Copies of this chain bind each other. A is one copy, B any other.
Amino acid sequence: MNDLTFYANRTVLITGGLGFIGSNLARRLVDLGARVTLVDSLIPDYGGNRFNIASYEDRLCVNLADVRDPHAMRALVQGQELLFNLAGQVSHIDSMTDPFSDLEINARAQLSILEACRHENPDIKVVYAGTRQQYGKPQYLPLDERHLQHPTDVNGVNKLAGEWYHIVYHTAYGLRTASLRLTNTYGPRQLMQHNRQGFIGWFIRLAVEGKEIQLYGDGRQLRDLNYVDDVVDAFLRVGVSDASNGQVYNLGGDMPVSLYDLAHLLVEIAGQGSVRLVPWPEERKRIDIGDVYSSYAALEASLGWRPTTSLRDGLARTVAYYREHWPHYWS
């Protein structure tokens, strides 16, 4: 069942709640009448941003805490009916320069959150944010959930571990957990301060600033993208559904797009900026994983989810948002 009126008066905890997806989810849940508590530690450069809940501050509760704090988490999960577990270190680059912080946040903290749920609130529903990065370099396309997980960076390994703790706690203890493996998500409230969290936010910023977007090689690498409202809708549907317990589902875009076409579409929508092809830097070419996009067929079959925002519409809304609010996102 996908009746989102379910959320009226529900108690909902969101880790990473001041971040990109967490804050969009929080706003939607407040609109649906949920009683929402956000957990965020506002680590600089990670994506948490108080402006993300602008005009909603009085209708939800913000609890500043780090998911690595087992005592805080143990208290915070009590009395909650749902947990959207979105806190994470999401930069692949940072995971290689500081692998232990990535492990502590993306693996160890997840285990400690699940222990807290098991002991303090075994009836809670937990929805985790995994990533298509867990698959690594594709062996076939589109990526489905039967594709082997061959992560190519420390972040991918730790996200994989974090996800599988969730599934193990379902198998072993009956905890009602599920995971969504996200692809490239874009939209309002995304981190734009630096370019270490993926290409799409950075491309959008360059377009809004009227700058040049540089693409490696011929720019023909294919990617899929989801507008954040569609991702929020997926989390909400999984949160309602007991059929999702113990399950893992890909998200995915409707149609893969080349970076070349994407960048040109952005420049067209922004009415400014430019695109330039540059040669592959040797060290980037070596770790390039080529075309990557995912199939959301399993989630559609199970819960009827599919993305409903076209790339053009989503980018237009995103560009408009940052035109208005950019000083809250970069300096």
Contact = CB atoms under 8 A, between A and B. Distances in A.
A168 B151 contact: yes
Interface string A109-142: 0011001000000000000000000000000000
A168 B154 CA distance: 7
Interface string A127-163: 0000000000000000000101111111011101100
Interface stretch (A2-10, A95-103, A233-241, A253-261): A95-103
A107 B150 CA distance: 16
A175 to B, nearest CB: 13
Of A146, A152, A156, A171, which is in contact with the most chain B CB atoms at under 10 Å from its CB? A171
Contacts of A160: 160-161, 164
B100 A108 contact: yes
A287 interface: yes
Nearest to A96: B172
A161 B115 contact: no
A297 B165 CA distance: 30
Interface of A is mostly: helix
Given A103-B111, A152-B171, A157 B146 contact: no
Given A103-B108, A111-B99, A115-B99, A149 B149 contact: yes
26 contacts: A96-B172, A99-B111, A99-B115, A100-B111, A103-B107, A103-B108, A103-B111, A107-B107, A107-B161, A108-B108, A111-B154, A148-B148, A150-B167, A151-B168, A152-B168, A152-B171, A152-B172, A154-B165, A154-B168, A156-B164, A156-B168, A157-B161, A157-B165, A158-B161, A160-B164, A161-B161
Interface of A: 96, 99-100, 103, 107-108, 111-112, 115, 146, 148-154, 156-158, 160-161, 164-165, 167-168, 171-172, 287
